[in-house]
Amino acid sequence: MFTKILIANRGEIACRVIQTARKMGIKTVAVYSEADKDARHVMLADEAVNIGPAPSRESYLVADKIIAACKQTGAQAVHPGYGFLSENAGFAKRVEEEGIIFIGPKHYSIAAMGDKIESKKLAGTAGVNCIPGVNDAIETPEKAVEIAKGIGYPVMIKASAGGGGKGLRVAYNDKEALEGFTSCRNEARNSFGDDRVFIEKFVEEPRHIEIQLVGDSFGNVIYLNERECSIQRRHQKVIEEAPSPFISDATRKAMGEQAVALAKAVKYQSAGTVEFVVGKDQSFYFLEMNTRLQVEHPVTECITGLDLVELMIRVAAGEKLPLTQAEVKRDGWAIECRINAEDPFRNFLPSTGRLVRFAPPAQTMHQANVTDWYGVRVDTGVQDGGEIPMYYDSMIAKLIVHGKDRNDAIAKMREALNGFVIRGVSSNIPFQAALLAHPKFVAGNFNTGFIAEHYAKGFKAEDVPHDDSSFLVALAAFVRRKSRERATGITGQLPGYAVQAGSDYVVITLDTAGEHIYTPVNVTEIEGKSGSSRIKIGQECYDICSNSRLNDVVITGTVNGQPFTAQVERGANNVAIKNPLALRVQHNGTKIDAMVVSPRMAEMHKLMPHKAAPDMSRFVLSPMPGLLVDVAVQVGQKVQAGERVAVIEAMKMENVLFAAADGVVSKVVAAKGESLVVDQVIVEFA
């Protein structure tokens, strides 16, 4: 067994590998770019080596620097994580030639299966059903359009070296094929250093189901059940679960055996995943093989009780697999939500910056200890006060729960999301909460088009269903009343001027357009119950009991005897809340800003004039921090609504900005190649 390994990666996966290595008594070496010098993985590792500037093509993608770091520190093996160099056959080969063990498959397996074009040819030769398409690299946008027409729309344009949703577009017409081809090539070149692109038929209403497998150097390969990964946005997975609520035992067995046969054909060693597109009739087609650890591997660990990182390390060290196919367990149900730094209410634009507050829910399962079952686990590479840089992907954390069945897992996940505190950057937690509450998701009735179908016009606050929105109003009144009660106990108050807690309040739910909602409430104490109040709103009654402190962001307790977890913050403590007197209440993805005041103060508030926001419709503003890679207009040009104006690169994705209305360009304020901040003016219209 190794005594020291180097992790050629960053973020949560680097931290994940460090945890297992620590459990096994193996010392770890982290590598980091200048943007990551204070990152969590650097602090967790026993040693750390700086490998260059922030852009990944100058640091994490430079094989020479990784190998030099191994030699400098005496690391005997390299774990590549996922992304970056994890599926680079040339890197795996070079590492082995330098006498360093690659904790992953052999380079010839990566070459055969990691390349999307070559793997399809190999699968076809092996008799595996493949989706119709052209598996040779395409050189020009015009050729891409010609091929797409021949196959028939819709088509999928895909980078050969792609993964994680990078370098992938679906085109429904010639225009989308032309633009998609160019964007795919650019993203692939920037993310993987390989700009080859191919095209295949896009199977409509498919499910994306993948088989986890692991092989050793003795020719043994087993499959560890499947993962359901159909909940995707822009071809990036959002929620993953194991097992799948869709496939039968017979289909699971057939898919697993086919995946194993394919792996054995290329003498596969280590953990890997074979991805399938599955039709409504449970027919399945080989999509690709990921010759690395997957982002969503924790859900498989939960239902099997296996540490996949440990298996990878042991196989790389020459050990046999410790179990047979018959010994693989499938116990309970696991769900993973990817918590990303993006704003779901602004079309999921990337959100970078400092994590002013980062407090995940309490963990009862831990990364390297797979004997902890039926609880909550958080895999993350960040910490309170850390930075979310614009150079890498948008993942903040992975939230994983393990339940006794699917409904139990969904309930656990909703509560865990309620207790996940992220401030300073936007996150997709409200979107995750909405997905988990959607009737079709709960019923297991969905496919890869689920998000596009149900959120075709984007995601809005009203898309977040809440079982009882009046509960948020009641909770605001409860917290305000507790604050008033505490104020009554302050010593030294002048006689006749002491604070009175009172029982009649009005909760003003604030609206940005000035259309506030005024809700009269009555709050009284429940005799004999400390930290409890009875809140009456019309005919509704809420008995709330909580021992959480007033300055706690996460409040736990019971409402009418049922447990709840919610978040409450004062405007004075959060600059994102525009009114310093307001309380922000969040529960099950729904958020309100509310003032809790006396009836007289509510009457006065109604007389306050509304201050409208300034009109910014003449400007094209940068919706995120990023690099301005293209300005497609010039001064004097007539632009129509929907026309391309600029392209911003952030978090390894290209984001195209379009004109919101017809107009004439009066000024181009920002230049190509400039680093932009949020709301910086790019173009001004006359």
Q: How far is residue 621's CA from residue 675's CA, in Å, rounded to a whole number?
A: 13
The Cα-based distances of 525 to 2, 507, 543, 545, 674 in angstroms read 63, 18, 9, 10, 59
- Annotated catalytic residue, options 288, 301, 342, 654: 288
Q: How far is residue 509's CA from residue 517's CA, in Å, rounded to a whole number?
A: 5
Report whether 145 contacts 120 (CB < 8 A). no
Of the candidates 194, 185, 191, the residue with the CA atom closest to the CA atom of residue 82: 191
User: How are beta strands 4-7 and 77-79 bridged, if at all?
Assistant: parallel
Q: Alpha-carbon Rg of the chain, whole angstroms?
A: 27
Of the candidates 568, 416, 414, 401, the residue with the CA atom closest to the CA atom of residue 482: 568
Residue 234, sorted as left (phi over 0), alpha (psi -120 to 50) or beta, turns out to be left
Q: How far is residue 212's CA from residue 410's CA, in Å, rounded to a whole number?
A: 22
What end-to-end distance do the CA atoms of the chain give, in Å?
69
| DSSP bridge partners of 399 | 337, 378
**How long a stretch of residues is the chain?**
686
Q: Is the peptide bond before 243 cis (omega within 30 degrees of 0)?
A: yes
Q: How far is residue 270's CA from residue 321's CA, in Å, rounded to a whole number?
A: 10
Q: How far is residue 402's CA from residue 596's CA, in Å, rounded to a whole number?
A: 38
Q: How far is residue 553's CA from residue 361's CA, in Å, rounded to a whole number?
A: 12
Q: How far is residue 553's CA from residue 530's CA, in Å, rounded to a whole number?
A: 20
Report whether 56 contacts 35 (CB < 8 A). no
User: Phi/psi at 288 (nearest 5 deg)?
Assistant: -170, 170
Cα dihedral sign, 122-125-130-134: positive
User: Phi/psi at 507 (nearest 5 deg)?
Assistant: -95, 115
Active-site residue flag, 288:
yes
Q: Is the peptide bond before 389 cis (omega within 30 degrees of 0)?
A: no
Collapsing DSSP to helix, strand or coil, 570 comes out as strand
Burial of 671 (0-12, 13-18, 19+ CB in 10 A): exposed
Report, as residue numbers or ranges, the catalytic residues.
288
